Structure 1
Amino acid sequence: MRNTVLIPTYRRPQDLLRCLSALQVQTKPVDQAIVVVRDTDTETWQFLSQFSPYNLPLQTVTVTQPGVVAALNAGLAAVTGDIVSITDDDAAPHPDWLQKITAHFQTDGCIGGVGGRDWVHRGENIEDGSCSIVGRLQWFGRVIGNHHLGIGEPREVDVLKGVNMSFRTQAIGKLQFDQRMRGTGAQVHFEMAFTFALQRAGWKIIYDPRVAVDHYPAQRFDEDQRQNFNEIACTNLVHNETVVLLEHLSPLRRIAFLFWAILVGTKDCFGLVQWLRFFPSQGTIVNKKLQASLRGRWQGWQTNQFKIQNQASGTLPYPHKI
């Protein structure tokens, strides 16, 4: 099987160098490496002009729109491999990454997606915790990630993580990443809509902790600054999660999700219970977190309803099975 690796990048040439260097030493050679670069990203273009692509069939794709969704969709249009493996520019795949990914797809023709663990580096330290529950969607709509902590044997999951996910191009077909995802950079939860769509079409999604990358979380150049709270970033995150889950869940589960999300929520997407829980330790900033979360839920509901109304009027086509 031919392997394509797809890497969206923006203004992080040193991180990109580490990523490309890791791809040059894969035990199963890369057949096509696509780097998607913003037209205004002079730092990356200068780096690529000087980079020696030894043992790496490197191809660049230019994108003019901000955000990871536009970058990945532009890259997908250029994919020629049987498998497309997506990682971030601030990650370095382990040498046997492609070899283990390919083995899964060759073993079972019903597998549509494969992901694995990202070993998160924080300076000199590596997050080495362990968790057996990874990438699961609970019946009422709570998503459990933990991809960076996964242990155990390969198993079916519901969600993969964008830094380490691969797909059978036959399974993808004409599927694209959801352009309704908000954000000018990271666009959190963009991968959820993609993997859910493959699941609904009958494809298996596999998580294997041994399919690994080293992840060095780098600076972001948008409103989402990872550990620092930003109202716009929080609203976008909650909006994206709401849009994806309202589309994926059955009508009864949608109702359960909305009640749970507003009344309880999570530490990243506040509901009333989380607001009460964190008030003693975080103070009045929890008011902003709750407001941003509720705003995101409402905007996500509006986005979902807008699509339904347009489909009913014939403005938009109904989703087709892949």
Structure 2
Amino acid sequence: MDQFEQKVSVDMRISIVIPVLNDEEYLKILLDHLARQSLPADEIIVVDNGCTDASVTVARSAGATVIVEKIIGIPAAAATGYDNATGDIIVRCDADSRPPADWLEKIDKKFVEDPTADALTGPGFFYDLPLGTRSIGSALYAVGYFFLLGSALATIPLWGSNMAFRSTLWNEVRERVSRTGTSIHDDLDLSCAAHQSFVLKFLPTLRMGAAGRVFLRPRGFRDSSRLALNTLMRHGGIKGIFDRWQSVLRLN
């Protein structure tokens, strides 16, 4: 039995999905963090999205299942991972995520204690930003993502570096999400698709370390904003925002 199969909780099976494209150094560290979880996952799925480095070798040597998705782009890679997950709870993070040791335990506990929650997400901190800007950058990103995008969605937007959802949610929305291209945010797309039928919740204590690529990459923030707008346009643009809020107000 490998390290990822030593499950402590018997309440629900947990599957982790990690889309990967030439992320071997990040992936090594992530898998080491996952091996030290207080509540190990039942399965870890690494989706090879065209890797030419040693990412696949790294994944297999750590006991993860590797699945190949030839269509380049996180939307296709993530969806393929979710399709193949066998857990009751599907957990998603990125190769550069750095989960605390109690990350999966918190996810499991929340889903067990709160049957109304269909999906969870939490805040992040950018561990590789300069020390003086790390807290500010993390706070600004959280405000932009969870408050501004949350206002556009009329619900909590799931963040792909740190999110989990019940398999029942995925089975319902799998045909509504995009599975092609690189021009949208897959996590935001999933949030929009799940909006009407499922409850998405923000768990403040579900913190995650993440690489600050959006700040460190040239035009990173601009490009990320463009993908967000493309995703919202896919789900109705201004009319979609109005319709989502009308639906929420009608339910309340």
What is the rounded CA distance, in whole Å, between the counterparts of 2:64 and 2:79 in structure 1?
18
Residue identity matched to 1:197: A
**SS class of match (1:173):** helix
Question: For the Cα contact (< 8 Å) 1:34–1:60, is it kept in 2?
Answer: yes
Question: For the Cα contact (< 8 Å) 1:100–1:211, is it kept in 2?
Answer: yes
**SS class of match (1:240):** helix
Q: Which runs of 5+ in 1 are unaligned?
A: 145-156, 255-322
Residue identity matched to 2:191: T
What is the rounded CA distance, in whole Å, between the counterparts of 1:20 and 1:252 in structure 2?
38
| Greater relative CO, 1 or 2 (CA 8 Å, sep 6+) | 2
Q: Which residue of 2 aligns with 1:73?
A: 79
Q: Which residue of 2 aligns with 1:311?
A: none
Residue identity matched to 1:193: D
- 1:243 deviates by 1.6
What is the rounded CA distance, in whole Å, between the counterparts of 2:221 and 2:148 in structure 1?
26
- 1:217 deviates by 3.4
Question: For the Cα contact (< 8 Å) 1:84–1:169, is it kept in 2?
Answer: yes
What is the rounded CA distance, in whole Å, between the counterparts of 1:252 and 1:32 in structure 2?
35
1:230–1:114 Cα change, 3 Å: closer
Q: Which residue of 1 aligns with 2:109?
A: 103
Report the aligned-residue RMSD: 3.4
- 1:215 deviates by 0.7
Question: So what's the TM-score if we normalise by structure 1?
Answer: 0.61
Question: For the Cα contact (< 8 Å) 1:136–1:143, is it kept in 2?
Answer: no
1:159–1:84 Cα change, 3 Å: same
Any residues of structure 2 matched to 1:87-102 within 5 Å, and which? 87-102=93-108
What is the rounded CA distance, in whole Å, between the counterparts of 2:43 and 2:67 in structure 1?
12
Matched, 1:228 2:219: yes
Q: Which residue of 2 aligns with 1:128?
A: 135
Q: Which residue of 2 aligns with 1:198?
A: 194
Q: Which residue of 2 aligns with 1:41?
A: 52
Matched, 1:114 2:125: no
1:118–1:68 Cα change, 3 Å: same
**SS class of match (2:194):** helix
Q: Which residue of 2 aligns with 1:307?
A: none
Residue identity matched to 2:177: D
1:197–1:48 Cα change, 3 Å: closer
Q: Which residue of 2 aligns with 1:260?
A: none
Matched, 1:212 2:207: yes
Q: Which residue of 1 aligns with 2:173?
A: 175
Matching residue within 230, 240, 257 for 2:231: 240
Question: For the Cα contact (< 8 Å) 1:117–1:209, is it kept in 2?
Answer: yes
Deviating more after overlay: 82-91 vs 203-212:
203-212
Question: For the Cα contact (< 8 Å) 1:181–1:240, is it kept in 2?
Answer: no
Q: Which runs of 5+ in 2 are unaligned?
A: 1-11, 247-252
What is the rounded CA distance, in whole Å, between the counterparts of 2:184 and 2:124 in structure 1?
16
Question: For the Cα contact (< 8 Å) 1:137–1:158, is it kept in 2?
Answer: no
What is the rounded CA distance, in whole Å, between the counterparts of 1:230 and 1:206 in structure 2?
25
Question: For the Cα contact (< 8 Å) 2:87–2:167, is it kept in 1?
Answer: yes
Q: Which residue of 2 aligns with 1:166?
A: 164
Question: For the Cα contact (< 8 Å) 1:4–1:83, is it kept in 2?
Answer: yes
- 1:212 deviates by 1.6
* Greater helix share, structure number: 2
Q: Deviations over 1:57-114 (max 9, x none)?
A: 5111101011001101110111111111100001111100011111111112121110
Question: For the Cα contact (< 8 Å) 1:37–1:61, is it kept in 2?
Answer: yes
Deviating more after overlay: 226-235 vs 94-103:
226-235
Question: For the Cα contact (< 8 Å) 1:189–1:241, is it kept in 2?
Answer: no
Residue identity matched to 2:37: Q
Bigger Rg, structure 1 or 2:
1
Deviating more after overlay: 229-238 vs 77-86:
229-238
